[in-house]
Chains A and B, each alone.
With several copies, the nearest count.
Chain A
């Protein structure tokens, strides 16, 4: 609940309403005045309390009452917020402008009270809106949201690696080794190395293959056959596989070069 001026407490005793006359015990005044949110709030209070018509404010009355409050504040040396003094000046100005004779033709638009009335009405609307928002049910207050427990398991996905990441890494390797000239590998050579892996993999499961089984003359084009042949030669050169032939023109067998 928003605290209103009417629920001010002085020395533990609740004052439910402002005294009818303007006499306020000096130590109470401070509490009352602090309960007002500012000069607009005080003015609104005076208007509503005395049932004044906000659209036709009797400026003399309102100004007098307002000034009396402000003087009391002054009298008890309450540190006067500048806002209150500014409002006094404005009220007096409006009052004096209303005393001046006004030309008939601009009557309505030129009511010196117009700006003040607009501000008071806007402030009052905001004040009520604030109260309404304050009363609305809110999460953490009247609204309880579901928040049952669940076992958190981590769903860590493996890191993603792009082709760029990979080539960047390779580039770094090369840069550090500064071995560009010795390690130039073109597309053709990479295919050879890939086929080396493929052949090794096949031999791991099949153990021994006929040389011709390594080549699919029907499926593979000439370039692939050449690459595959180069891979076999490179594997043999690196001592990774062994080729055997029992007799001339008999089948050549390829197997992993193992000591067993």
Chain B
């Protein structure tokens, strides 16, 4: 057991331990308790300033927030930390998947084509998701009134699905056959 800290180094150590192990920011009041309320607030503030400087070139930074002080990871590390707790893998909606399938199998197609095949209007959001993913892009316009965009799948889409070309997509006949088998 350590006796009461006698110099600023030891005092800063006590503050450092408390701040690193607390899951909530520590207020000046909290930190005064560490020293059995025998420390002036001005001294405390000075020590916190020094502690902040001690950590200047290091992984964590001492910051002051609304309810007090806390150590927090410097922003450049947050990408690494995010890898520890990956969010749940999201899934595309049925509308996105079917639209993608139609574009893959029937390209180049317009929105109208997709709507005709699916029997429902295409939500703009659906196309945006596929374009943001760089799986689908506009390759031209059909020369009909309104000049609708023609959508096609990209090379990036083939790469992501590990395909060399669209010809590697299962042919539709396979589906028809399996349908027959299912009917048996």
Contacts and interface: CB of A to CB of B under 8 A. Distances in A.
Interface in A110-128: 111, 114, 117-119, 121-128
A55 interface: yes
B140 A148 contact: no
B98 to A, nearest CB: 4
A65 B172 CA distance: 30
B182 A121 contact: yes
Contacts of B143: 239-240, 257-259
A150 B117 contact: no
A144 B21 CA distance: 6
Given A149-B21, A197-B108, A155 B172 contact: no
Interface string A121-149: 11111111111111011111111111111
A126 B162 contact: no
Contact of A173 (B17, B118, B178, B180): B118
Contacts of A221: none
B142 interface: yes
Interface residues of A, number: 97
B113 to A, nearest CB: 11
Contacts of A203: 140
Contact of A129 (B25, B93, B153, B172): B172
Contacts of B140: 200, 203-204, 240, 256
Contacts of B19: 146, 148
B7 interface: no
Interface string A141-178: 11111111111111111111111011111111111110
Contacts of B161: 133, 136-139, 161-163, 166
Contact of B166 (A2, A129, A191, A256): A191
A129 B71 contact: no
Nearest to A42: B119
A37 B78 contact: no
Given A129-B175, A154-B82, A194-B107, A148 B90 contact: no
Interface string A42-83: 000000000000110000000000000000000000000101
Contacts of A124: 175-177
Given A129-B170, A190-B169, A197-B153, A161 B178 contact: no
A196 interface: yes
Contact of B21 (A39, A150, A186, A200): A150
Contact of A177 (B94, B119, B184): B119
B43 interface: no
Interface in B69-105: 70-73, 75, 77-79, 81-83, 85-87, 89-95, 97-98, 100-102, 104-105
A239 to B, nearest CB: 5
B20 interface: yes
B175 A37 contact: no
A144 B85 CA distance: 11
B37 to A, nearest CB: 14
Contact of B172 (A40, A55, A186, A259): A186
28 contacts: A2-B93, A39-B120, A111-B184, A125-B172, A127-B101, A128-B174, A128-B175, A128-B177, A134-B92, A138-B161, A139-B160, A139-B161, A140-B89, A144-B81, A147-B22, A152-B81, A163-B161, A167-B169, A167-B170, A175-B179, A176-B118, A180-B172, A184-B172, A185-B171, A186-B173, A190-B105, A240-B143, A257-B143
Interface of B: 17, 19-23, 25, 60, 70-73, 75, 77-79, 81-83, 85-87, 89-95, 97-98, 100-102, 104-108, 117-121, 133, 139-144, 147, 150, 152-153, 159-163, 165-167, 169-180, 182, 184
Given A54-B177, A150-B17, 16 more contacts: A125-B175, A142-B82, A143-B162, A144-B17, A145-B73, A148-B20, A148-B21, A148-B60, A149-B23, A150-B73, A152-B81, A158-B90, A171-B175, A186-B173, A197-B153, A239-B143
